[in-house]
Structure 1
């Protein structure tokens, strides 16, 4: 029960300010700012610029995307090494280590095939990379 309430609270804390900003901005967008006799110019709001904070990405998402790009450019071993370094340097990322390692495992299978991808496995985040490889291969 406590987990569900916390999840609902977090969702509302994220969504509610965005909805309020957008609804207020859109309400103001239809107000004519020029004199009534002048051309009826209307301010138009852009939802893209209304709230830049709503578009901010979480650090673990940025890390995952960076490591997936590194895997494509170099190899999974390099990406796994950097994952281990980042989780050691920033302990707040450790809780996302498993999901990032699994994503790297799935991407490695897509690039190298399941047998070759498994050769890059390391004990980073337990065996999550290997699990991601097995999950994608199976």
Structure 2
């Protein structure tokens, strides 16, 4: 389904939380699949911030492509959704050292996927 960015953002915010990106984040958007904000951190880490889609696998592939194009070695994100379900869906590893309680009081699980490490990324 084609949606404007404003429609995707409203959909996300009605199901999750305000989609306010971290400072310096860029936007990846496709009307047919949704959006995510991302920022590259030192050491080649692409951090995904707010992810709205009706096809998680498709959009996460796009995040991996973006990371590779930017010379990143891993993709990291956080979620307040159940960790077990997110691990199954993303195939990324739970990363407890970056899991934390947000300013809003919610617990955020961190997940990391090392790019080009097929065996190491299996959960």
Q: TM-score, normalised by structure 2?
A: 0.34
Higher strand share: 2
Q: Which has the higher helix share?
A: 1
TM-score, normalised to structure 1, is: 0.31
